[in-house]
Amino acid sequence: MKFFQSFKYLLVIVCLCQNTFAADIAGRVIMARGDVHAISDNGESRKLKRRDSIFSHEIIKTGSASRIQIRFIDNALLALKENSELNIKAYVYNEANEKDNQVLMELVTGGFRTLTGKIGKGNKEAYKVDTPVASIGIRGTLYDVQIAVDKIYAGVWKGGIALNTEQGDFDLGMNANFDFAEISSSGDFTGLLVPPEALTSPSATGQNDDDSEGKQGFDSDNTQEDSSENEDTSGTSSDPGLALGDGDNKNIPSPFDKDTAPDQNIVQDSDSFTQDTIEEGESLQDADDLLLPTEGYSPDIRLSPEEFTQLASNPKVAFLIGNGAQDIGVSLNTDGTGDSFFLSPTVLADGTSGYETIRRASASEKDFSNIIPWSDQVSWGIWQGTEATPIERYTRFDNDQFFEPLASDLFYMEFSPASTLEMSNGLTEGLFTFSTSSASLIGTGQTDFIASASNGGQITHLAAQFDLSVSSRSYSLNNIYLDIEVDIDNDMSADQTWNVSAANGQVDSSNITIDTLQGFLTDVQTEQQIQVNGTLNGFLLSPKAGTTVIDTFAGGFELSTIDGVEHVGGVIILQSGQVIPQ
């Protein structure tokens, strides 16, 4: 009995010592190559090697042609690039008491890629990474950050991050308009449609010959994880239409499929893989090992090498309206037919985000030779899918033969949205009125809208307007209305009028969202009315060549009666008129 009591006392002392020691450990080294050191808070330096511990309050430095990969105590993974300095100010993980968890790091120079762990999945406020020009918070994420001479680049491959700069708060990834961004030394945010050269896709295949120490990505055979959330479900879609449902469809999709990439290993998170069971070959794919596809290669079987090259270098934005919903995607035109085709975000059956490839195939395209958009910043059209000749929607990244048919019209509008910097330079203080110009276009062969009604009538008149107020780089919308006339019996007179308005809307960089349009559909003959709801969404466009003026809006609208029986929709261009000083 006395021995047992002494043993319990000894066990308590040992546990206390272990807990005190473990509380200081931030993680362990999975792989270290070249000149990699840890510098303690008292200035002592030690060279790091595989399986070494990493402690809070240490600074990790990598030299030229050197890099390190770390698994942290909450199973987060981080790959630090060459010539980088990362200050681990605090890394605390307490599974029993989540409120004690904290990640506080500072990237002083260089860059990293990280897949956040359990702390990132729990209390999002507990995670923060500082850089010279922005602070980064996360929402369960695989992301990159790279410091350049006078800016930083950030990119999200899965989840989302929140950036805080001197100019305000900006989101990337999930529920945001951009997955990639450039932040200047003064904190100005510029959203990017494609990954900058400083970042590389985790879907790309690493081809470094010297990568003999570890496999690329996470080795699922070693982790032995069996999680349904990582299964490949990209071959099914919960919605055969273009509908984005809860509003997540406002995102501009990444040129790479972040959540259902062809190489699923690379984004697989292993909660069961602990620091004490690190196996040979386990490593986070380092950004230096991630090469953009070489010529003649495409990681998505639905895209040819030429198409993927354009996707990674020179895509346009496309506003799509079809099947009673609006969407924003990427427009390409390198399929050899001369047609555009689109990549559009969608929600898979398991609730994760993916994207689909949409091609006209044998569907007809309406002749718009006499309906030319008045702005040369815009091109548009309508694909007319039928059951016999449908539009083809390819939803499986690993299958270029299977498609889901779309037997309905698809409106599209292609353009280049304004960047944050262009917005700052092109919109001065004051009130800008954006409106249609239909009356001035009569007889020119040009127009500022194309639209259709579900009852087969012709849209004979459309007038729209909103006021954009600019003050200290802050934007607000008001005085919003949309009036439409429909000729059902083709007698050149209006049989229906749609009149809707909204008190305000949202402005996020160049993206404008008005989803509270309300009003009435009126039968001209009977004067009967039915309530109508709708949306008007789009972008302010980049200035014309040689100017800095932001004076054009392009987007789409969708209006429906509350009983869902009738709707009208289309694409529209608005132009700014006089600036009214405030």
Report the chain's terminal Cα–Cα distance, integer Å.
87
- Low pLDDT (below 70) residues in the chain: 1-23, 120, 122, 140, 200-299, 312-315, 323-326, 334-337, 348-353, 369-370, 397-398, 437-445, 577-582
Is the separation of the CB atoms in 492 and 473 below 8 Å?
no
Is the separation of the CB atoms in 280 and 260 below 8 Å?
no
Q: Name the residue type at position 253.
A: P
The pTM of this model reads 0.49
For residue 577, the model assigns a pLDDT of 62
Q: Name the residue type at position 230.
A: N
For residue 108, the model assigns a pLDDT of 94
For residue 447, the model assigns a pLDDT of 81
Q: List pLDDT tens digits, range 289-336.
A: 333 334 456 667 788 877 877 776 666 788 887 766 667 788 887 666
User: Helix (H, G, I), strand (E, B), or coil: what is residue 104?
Assistant: strand
Q: What is the CA radius of gyration of the chain?
A: 27
For residue 132, the model assigns a pLDDT of 92
Residue with tokens 């969708």: 558
CA distance 203 to 263: 6
User: Helix (H, G, I), strand (E, B), or coil: what is residue 12?
Assistant: helix
For residue 130, the model assigns a pLDDT of 93
CA distance 156 to 397: 20
CA distance 79 to 102: 20
Beta bridge partners of 558: 535, 569
DSSP 255: S
**How many Cβ atoms sit within 10 Å of the Cβ of residue 406?**
22
| DSSP string computed for 422-470 | HHHHH--SEEEEEE--GGGGTTTTEESEEEEETTS-EEEEEEEEEEEEE
Q: List pLDDT tens digits, range 541-564.
A: 888 888 888 888 988 888 999 999
For residue 97, the model assigns a pLDDT of 77
Q: Which domains does the chain have, with CATH numbers?
A: 220-413 (no CATH), 417-580 (2.40.160)
Is the separation of the CB atoms in 484 and 459 below 8 Å?
yes
Residue 382 tokens read as: 């309508």
